[in-house]
Amino acid sequence: MANASTGPAQPAIALSCCVLVCLVLACASTGAPEPSRPEADTGRERQRGVLAKTTPTAVTAATQTGNPAPKTDVQDSANAGDARPGRMLIYSAITGHVPLDELDPDDPTTRYRTPAEREAARARKIEAEIEAEIARENRLAVEPEVAPPPAADPAAVDPTANPLSAPQAPQLRELPGSLFESHEVTIPPGEWQNRRELTVVRQTLDVDDDGAPEELRYTDVSSGQLVRAELDRDFDGRLDTWISYENGEPAIQVIDSNGDARADTWERYTGGQLEARTVDRDHDGVKDTFFRYDGGELSTLQRDANNDGTVDRVESYQGRHRARTEEDRTLNGYMDIWTRYAVIDQREVVTHIERDTRDQGKPDVFETYETEGEETLLARKEEDIDGDGNIDVVSSYEDGRLVQRAISDEALSPL
């Protein structure tokens, strides 16, 4: 009975196994379907597509892991791998944020940023500079404004540029007469500013026999005294110094100091000492500096700064030190600043300054200075505000700082 019951079931089992094998083979041949991508990944693909069209260079740089930015003169090698311009541009395009505060607009690598990024960084830097300048002005605003004393003129104490002692009259070299060639010549009136005709012996010294004498001397035949000398002091073949004599002594010396064939220095001597010197310092043909000596010492120095023929600065000296100055700083022909000096420890220091601030030909501001140690500071200022000749405002200072201000007219109190 058992054999009769199991016979028909075996063909059904075999058929089921065949069906399962066919299904497995079918799945293996077609492959499992790929799962769908999240929506966020699809959005990033779309952004990469846009970047590839708009900034292809940046996208290429971002996909190359071993391509650092081109070398520059200033580059931080430690951060070169993290500062590739392609990644920075992609980051800013996706997020909309760029760390501009950490980048210097003057850094050479800023050429890899967009124009908007460079402009924003530059604006931040300018704002920082403006804030620093405002802070500096605020610090200055709380301190009183004190006019410093005028700086000393280096030419006034430089013996080379401004001799404080009168030099001696020029002397010719003592040379044997055999070195000179002598000829008698006639000098017509007016050639040497002479009133009458002169008959002189001309002595010529030409050591190198080049036809350009280094020295010529003229001696009056009637008196036997030297009346004129002409010298080539730099031995360039051109005469540059002319000396006129009175009673055998040097009286006038004219010098061409720069070799341009034009005189630029005129000196007058009395009693063997310099009495006056006139100089064309800028060699433009206009006399602009005038020295005057008294008793062998400089007494006055006058200057014409703008070559208009009018003196605009006068310095007065006593005991080889500057005592007073007058200046026309507006160069309108009228003095407008008067300064007085004192000598402390052999130094010239300012004691008083008077100013004509209203250009009326008279001072309306009076300043007093005090010197302690190496510092000369403003101690007192008196001002005639309305120009009526009366002092309206008196300001007192200590250590150069305003400590008190007295105003005589209530209408001037806002000042």
Q: Give the pLDDT confidence score for residue 90 in this predicted structure.
A: 43
Q: Which residue has the tokens 């400590």?
A: 403
SS (H, E, C) 155-193: HHHCCCCCCCECCECCCCCCCCHHHCEEEEEEECCCCCC
Structural element, H or E, at residue 380: strand 375-383
Judged by DSSP in three states, 228 sits in: strand
195 torsion bin: left (phi>0), alpha (psi -120 to 50), beta (else) = alpha
Residues making up the chain, counted from first to last: 415
Residue 361 DSSP label: S
Question: Is the pTM higher than 0.85?
Answer: no
91 torsion bin: left (phi>0), alpha (psi -120 to 50), beta (else) = alpha
Q: Give the pLDDT confidence score for residue 151 in this predicted structure.
A: 46
In the chain, where are the structural domains located? 43-70+78-138, 158-164+280-415, 169-271
Phi, psi angles (nearest 5°) of residue 125: -65, -45
Per DSSP, which regions of 163-308 are E strands?
Answer: 181-187, 198-205, 215-220, 226-231, 241-246, 249-255, 265-270, 273-279, 289-294, 297-303
For the record, the structure tokens of 123 come out as 């604006």
Q: Give the pLDDT confidence score for residue 26 in this predicted structure.
A: 46
Contacts of 357 (CB under 8 A, 6+ apart): 336, 364, 365
Query: CB-side exposure of 180: number of CA atoms within 13 Å?
Result: 18
Q: Give the pLDDT confidence score for residue 208 in this predicted structure.
A: 84
* Residue-wise pLDDT tens digits, 186-223: 999 999 989 999 999 999 999 888 889 999 999 999 99
Q: Are 122 and 113 in contact (CB under 8 A)?
A: no
Residues of the chain scoring pLDDT < 70: 1-162, 409-415
* Residue-wise pLDDT tens digits, 323-372: 999 999 999 889 999 999 999 988 999 999 999 999 888 999 999 999 99
Please state, in angstroms and rounded to a whole number, the distance separating the CA atoms of residues 197 and 77. 91
Q: Give the pLDDT confidence score for residue 14 in this predicted structure.
A: 46
